[in-house]
């Protein structure tokens, strides 16, 4: 999208140290060069035992895609193997993971090869019934869907996107296609160089499980990503999906500007009940910046800001009203 499509100028202008036509919305939250969303399929017990604690140790949030029809209710229930003989966790445990801020995604009801499905009732069971079970167990309808075996079907895509905001189609197989720490690190480095969104896909975390990523290898990789947080945004698949969809639609309405002050709004036509992730607005200046404040006029709330000598970053939820930014 050309940056000029994001800007709507209102009011009068003075010759000020603000490059008005260059005010825009950053491609990724925090104006990072790239994004990484760690995703985990099948809801395995080993993910609960190893992946979740590792992510928590680094302050990262992951997306765990569950098979609704194979997930047992309580921790105390007998542990049953999944379609490949791997052991699946419980809804009770996954609810605790969700409460920690991780995302629970939809990975179908029974993990079929969905490219072969033609019966509408079966498709509905694998897509929508699965999501409704997840909503009942976790407390919210899953934002995103991950195809079993990563084989997608354009016709089923239409069914999925009626009630989910995104389908994971940009996965990279950590542990299977990229089995070493060095390969995983290289994938993140490449995403940063290419300014793109990387979605590592993982399964087992115990020896003998499919594509196993064994500790402490995963933590070593996470340490590499943490060392590059100045350049990469790490968040759930749902949050990055929301941001990018808002970015495509949002418009900045620039209302007033003076020497070291401006007022703008960010508008977006997407459903605000779902698409309410803050967007990072970039304000370039020609004069050095030393201090900044950003006030949401509607309720007097101070917004998160950061800055370099010649650029101000303000995080704004679309549709939240006029934002007043001042600096010196």
Average pLDDT of every residue of the chain: 91
3-state class of 235 per DSSP? Answer: coil
The structure tokens listed for 217 are: 């290898």
Q: What is the DSSP letter of 114?
A: G
Helices then strands, counting H and E runs in the chain, come out as 9, 19
Alpha-carbon Rg of the chain, whole angstroms? Answer: 22
Is pLDDT above 80 for 257? yes
Output the pTM of the full model. Answer: 0.91
Of the candidates 266, 91, 63, 28, which has an alpha carbon nearest to the alpha carbon of residue 164? Answer: 63
Task: Tell me the backbone φ, ψ of residue 297, rounded to 5 degrees.
Answer: -65, -30
Domains of the chain as residue ranges with CATH: 3-31+249-327 (2.60.40), 34-230 (3.20.20.370)
Contacts of 156 (CB under 8 A, 6+ apart): 114, 117, 123, 127
pLDDT tens for each residue of 95-146: 999 999 999 999 999 999 999 999 999 999 999 999 999 999 999 999 999 9
CB atoms within 10 A of CB 23: 21
CA 242 to chain CA centroid, Å, is 7
- Are residues 138 and 98 in contact, defined by beta-carbon separation less than 8 angstroms? yes
245-265 CB burial, b ≥16 within 10 A, e <16: bbbeebebbbeebeebebbbb
Strands (DSSP E) along the chain, which ranges? 7-9, 24-25, 34-36, 39-41, 63-66, 103-106, 144-145, 166-167, 171-173, 197-202, 232-234, 251-258, 261-267, 279-284, 292-296, 301-302, 305-308, 311-316, 323-327
The strand pair at 63-66 and 251-258 is best described as unpaired
The structure tokens listed for 75 are: 């921790």
pLDDT tens for each residue of 176-196: 999 999 999 999 999 999 999
CA separation, residue 224 to residues 30, 186, 201 (Å): 19, 10, 17
Could you write out the DSSP letters of every residue in 154-204? HHHHHHHTTT-SEE---EEEBTTTB-SHHHHHHHHHHHHHHT-EEEEEE--
- Are residues 43 and 94 in contact, defined by beta-carbon separation less than 8 angstroms? yes
**CA atoms in the 13 A half-sphere facing the CB of 222:** 24
Which of the four pLDDT bands, split at 50, 70 and 90, describes residue 16? very low
Least confident of 14-18, 185-189, 222-226: 14-18
Least confident of 21-25, 62-66, 189-193: 21-25
Is pLDDT above 70 for 61? yes
């Amino acid at each position: 999208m050309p940056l000029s499509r994001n800007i709507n100028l209102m009011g009068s202008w003075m010759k000020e140290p603000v490059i008005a036509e260059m005010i825009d919305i950053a491609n990724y939250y925090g104006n990072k060069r790239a994004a990484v969303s760690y995703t985990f399929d099948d809801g395995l017990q080993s993910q609960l035992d190893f992946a979740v604690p590792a992510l928590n140790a680094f302050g990262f949030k992951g997306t765990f895609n569950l098979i609704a029809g194979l997930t047992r209710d309580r921790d105390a229930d007998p542990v049953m193997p999944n379609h490949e003989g791997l052991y699946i966790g419980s809804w009770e445990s996954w609810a605790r993971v969700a409460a920690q801020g991780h995302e629970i995604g939809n990975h179908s009801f029974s993990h079929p090869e969905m490219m072969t499905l033609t019966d509408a009732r079966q498709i509905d069971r694998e897509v929508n019934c699965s999501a409704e079970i997840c909503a009942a167990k976790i407390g919210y309808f899953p934002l995103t869907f991950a195809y079993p075996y990563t084989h997608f079907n354009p016709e089923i895509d239409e069914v999925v996107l009626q009630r989910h905001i995104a389908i994971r189609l940009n996965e990279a197989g950590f542990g299977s296609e990229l089995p070493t720490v060095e390969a995983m690190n290289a994938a993140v480095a490449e995403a940063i160089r290419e300014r793109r969104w990387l979605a590592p896909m993982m399964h087992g975390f115990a020896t003998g499980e499919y594509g196993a990523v064994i500790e402490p290898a995963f933590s070593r990789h996470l340490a590499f990503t943490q060392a590059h947080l100045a350049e990469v945004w790490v968040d759930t698949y749902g949050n990055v999906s929301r941001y990018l969809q808002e970015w495509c639609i949002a418009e900045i309405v620039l209302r007033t500007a003076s020497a070291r002050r401006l007022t703008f709004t960010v508008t977006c036509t997407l459903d605000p009940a779902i698409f309410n992730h803050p967007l990072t607005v970039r304000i370039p200046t020609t004069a050095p910046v030393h201090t900044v404040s950003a006030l949401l006029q509607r309720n007097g709330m101070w917004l998160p800001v950061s800055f370099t000598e010649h650029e101000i970053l303000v995080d704004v939820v679309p549709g939240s009203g006029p934002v007043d930014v001042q600096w010196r």
